[in-house]
Amino acid sequence: MRNLVDRASVAIIPARGGSKGLPGKNLKAVGGVPLVVRAVEAAHAAGIERVVVTTDDPQIAASASGAGAEIVDRPADLASDTATSESAVLHALDAISTGESEPTVVAFLQCTSPFIDSLALRRAIDLVADGADSAFAARPSHGFLWRTSPDSQAYGVNHDSSVRLRRQDRPPEWLETGAFYVFRTAGFREANHRFFGRVELVEVGAEDSLEIDDHADLRLARSLAGGGEATMLPPIDVDVLVTDFDGVHTDDTAFVDETGRESVRVKRGDGLGVSRLRRAGVRILILSTEKNAVVARRAEKLGVECLHGIDDKRAALEAWLFQEGIEPQRVAYVGNDLNDLGCLELAGVAISVADGHPEVKSAADHTATRKGGDGVVREIADAVLEAVDLRST
């Protein structure tokens, strides 16, 4: 029975492009690997040969395809904030079943779980093979849950607050992790829901249960996975490049003459990279806390926009993007120090220079191979231009 299920199973991974809280979430890298790719690889590692990613985003499609997934174009009405995962799975099943027999078992994986346990996913598939209709990832919990009444009074939900039982005297409850669900296709179509018939759970560890909803979750996942090392940048598909000045265009040092006038050293190659970006139609903004004429003069020479003397860089960038009608997801931000963290969280693609602060590297999707002032702007410009070339082919 299990071999028959294996041959007739498919993994479906919904991965929409829009995310308000965490722009570009499904392409955020953990351990140097985009979340959508981690999900594809987990499905393959569980022995599922056919993996389908349903998405409305060309970058996600390209990334998933490169990892060996089939792509289903997800309609806009199924990629909104209110669209359900079930609707995306049903649409993907309809798309891949046209003109051929439908898979009998579906493994539904979520990109937001970066540490999917492939052995546990394999156990879920085996449970369905052995008679379960649906199986899902869950971890045991002995937590005391509380709610508050309309008048703010607290009361116990899963326990009698007057009887404090020891952990070993309380049966565990189970927290659904959201990492994966496996179910029979026919039953899913009939119920229009992932839980139906005989439902069983598969235990996973707390370390495998992290789900990424916000920047704090992403930072924790990156810390657990390691990474932050400088690597060759992939093609970066954005419409706007925003950079800090000191520590990016420069090596974060300044020369001061006897009159107190400051000067900095920049790389000519960076200027050529910026020039090529402008010709390709990519907008560039320099955003700096320094209120120094040298920042404005460099931006003027490069022919790019500039905001300097800014105390709250994230607020300034949000206001500029709103004014210009630009979605944060289509922006790459390059920074090196702690005052860049807000902008790195806001941007769809966050990049650190090679000598960036450790917290900046942890917050970044990519760490460039070059240091600030040592041609990093050119390196990033080349990666953006590579994506421009790919779009035009």
Query: Is residue 101 pLDDT above 90, yes or no?
Result: no
Taking only the tens place, the pLDDT of each residue in 186-210 is 999 999 999 999 999 999 988 888 9
Mean pLDDT of 75-84: 84
pLDDT band at 96 (very low <50, low <70, confident <90, very high): very high
Mean pLDDT of 242-271: 88
pLDDT band at 99 (very low <50, low <70, confident <90, very high): low
For residue 260, the model assigns a pLDDT of 72
Mean pLDDT of the chain: 91
275 membership: H or E segment, kind and range: helix 268-279
pLDDT band at 4 (very low <50, low <70, confident <90, very high): very low
Taking only the tens place, the pLDDT of each residue in 364-386 is 999 999 999 999 999 999 999 99
Backbone dihedral region for residue 373 (phi beyond 0: left; psi -120 to 50: alpha; all else: beta): left
Query: Is residue 84 pLDDT above 80, yes or no?
Result: yes
| Cα–Cα dist 276/320, whole Å | 23
Taking only the tens place, the pLDDT of each residue in 108-135 is 999 999 999 999 999 999 999 999 999 9
| Cα–Cα dist 37/392, whole Å | 24
Residue written as token pair 């060996």: 68
Higher-pLDDT residue of 200, 213:
200
Q: Which amino acid belongs to residue 321?
A: L
Structure tokens at 104: 């009998």
For residue 32, the model assigns a pLDDT of 81
Closest by CA position to 355, among listed 333, 373, 342, 343: 373
Cβ 54 vs Cβ 13: under 8 Å: yes
**Beta carbons within 10 angstroms of residue 257's beta carbon:** 8
Closest by CA position to 249, among listed 288, 277, 278: 288
SS3 content of the chain, % helix, strand, coil (to 5): 40, 20, 40
**Alpha carbon of 383 to those of 12, 32, 61, 238, 390: distances in Å?**
30, 16, 18, 10, 11
Q: In sequence order, which residues have a C-beta less than 8 Å from that of residue 285 and are 6 or more positions away?
A: 240, 241, 242, 243, 304, 305, 306, 307, 320
**Alpha carbon of 82 to those of 17, 85, 213: distances in Å?**
14, 10, 16
Q: Which domains does the chain have, with CATH numbers?
A: 2-141+172-225 (3.90.550.10), 240-392 (3.40.50.1000)
pLDDT band at 1 (very low <50, low <70, confident <90, very high): very low
Q: How large a percentage of the chain has pLDDT more than 90?
A: 68
How far does the chain reach from its first CA to its final CA, in angstroms?
46
Query: Is residue 290 pLDDT above 50, yes or no?
Result: yes
Question: DSSP letter string over 214-236?
Answer: SHHHHHHHHHHH------PPPP-
Query: Is residue 7 pLDDT above 60, yes or no?
Result: no
For residue 76, the model assigns a pLDDT of 86
Query: Is residue 24 pLDDT above 80, yes or no?
Result: yes
Taking only the tens place, the pLDDT of each residue in 227-238 is 667 778 889 999
Structure tokens at 273: 């990279």
